[in-house]
Amino acid sequence: MGDFGTNSTVVEALRARFDQAMSEPDTVKRFRGLVNLVEDAQVLRAKVSKGLKEHQKSEALLEAEKRFVTKHETKLDSLAQGFFNCYASPGKARAALDQLCANYDSQYVLDVIRLGVWRLSKPLGFDLFGIKSDARRISEAFFENSLLPVLEKIIPDQGDYLKLKQLDVEERYEKILHEIEMSRMAMAAVEASLKKAQAQLETEAKAMPEDVVETLSTADAAERLKALPPKMREAIFEARREALAGKPSRAR
């Protein structure tokens, strides 16, 4: 029931069936047509309601995933300056981090990163036979004191973040919101059709002539009683009780 075009077609079918039932000149056939219409509309309402609830559950899960992605991306923003201060090619360092997190568990990645700044990419400056430039010493110190603590906070969630980004959580979230809106529109349309059919069914039940009522089958009579307002239904039951009470008992 996710496509409202399909829902719209089904609702139009309900309306057409209502018009068809009302065009039936025979009282009993018209009544039966409305009974069947009400039953089918109730089934459709239950189906749409079930679909809506499923979409809402998916929305809750996707919303949590979307919040996680947004929060994690805020943390990742802090890496940009850190990589710039440490690496000759910050983009390669970020790509290396993502590759590690995508293919290995977080503890292994942490162990690798803690080996030193050079594990992600070529650091700034040079180290020639143990002789380090000022830029190299600064980048190593910055890595140990500033960048590594940030990485240690980010890496445990980076793998999950990459998976969610690959699954396009933002796009899926927008899609489920659309599905929910379509389901709500369908529910409103089905409810309107059902309410109209039930009201007409009650009118037909109340207006049914007594001579026609007497010819109803047991099933049709039961449906008519269900369609009547509670007071009328109780009055019929009371009349039957009085009639039974007034009958003389059979002689044994």
23-79 tens-digit pLDDT? 999 999 999 999 999 999 999 999 999 999 999 999 999 999 999 999 999 999 888
Q: Do the Cβ atoms of 123 and 86 come closer than 8 Å?
A: yes
- List alpha helices for the chain, DSSP H: 4-22, 27-86, 90-103, 106-113, 134-142, 148-166, 169-207, 210-213, 218-227, 230-246
Residue 89 pLDDT greater than 50, yes or no: yes
Residue 182 pLDDT greater than 80, yes or no: yes
Residue 72 lies in a domain: yes
| Residue owning tokens 């679909």 | 51
pLDDT of 238 reads 83
b/e sequence 24-38, b meaning 16+ C-beta within 10 Å: eeebbebbbbbbebb
Task: Report the residue count for the chain.
Answer: 252
Picking from 39, 42, 52, the residue whose alpha carbon sits closest to that of residue 186 is: 52
How many domains does the chain contain in total? 1
Residue 240 lies in a domain: no
Residue 230 lies in a domain: no
Residue 162 lies in a domain: yes
Picking from 86, 85, 110, 115, the residue whose alpha carbon sits closest to that of residue 97 is: 110
Domain limits for position 148 = 4-207
pLDDT of 250 reads 52
Question: Which of the two residues, 20 and 6, has the higher pLDDT score?
Answer: 20
Residue 102 pLDDT greater than 80, yes or no: yes
**Looking at residue 20, what DSSP letter applies?**
H
pLDDT of 99 reads 97
Residue 9 lies in a domain: yes
pLDDT for 199-241, tens place per residue? 999 999 999 999 999 999 999 999 999 999 989 888 888 877 8
Residue 220 lies in a domain: no
pLDDT for 115-134, tens place per residue? 999 999 999 988 887 788 99
pLDDT of 6 reads 53
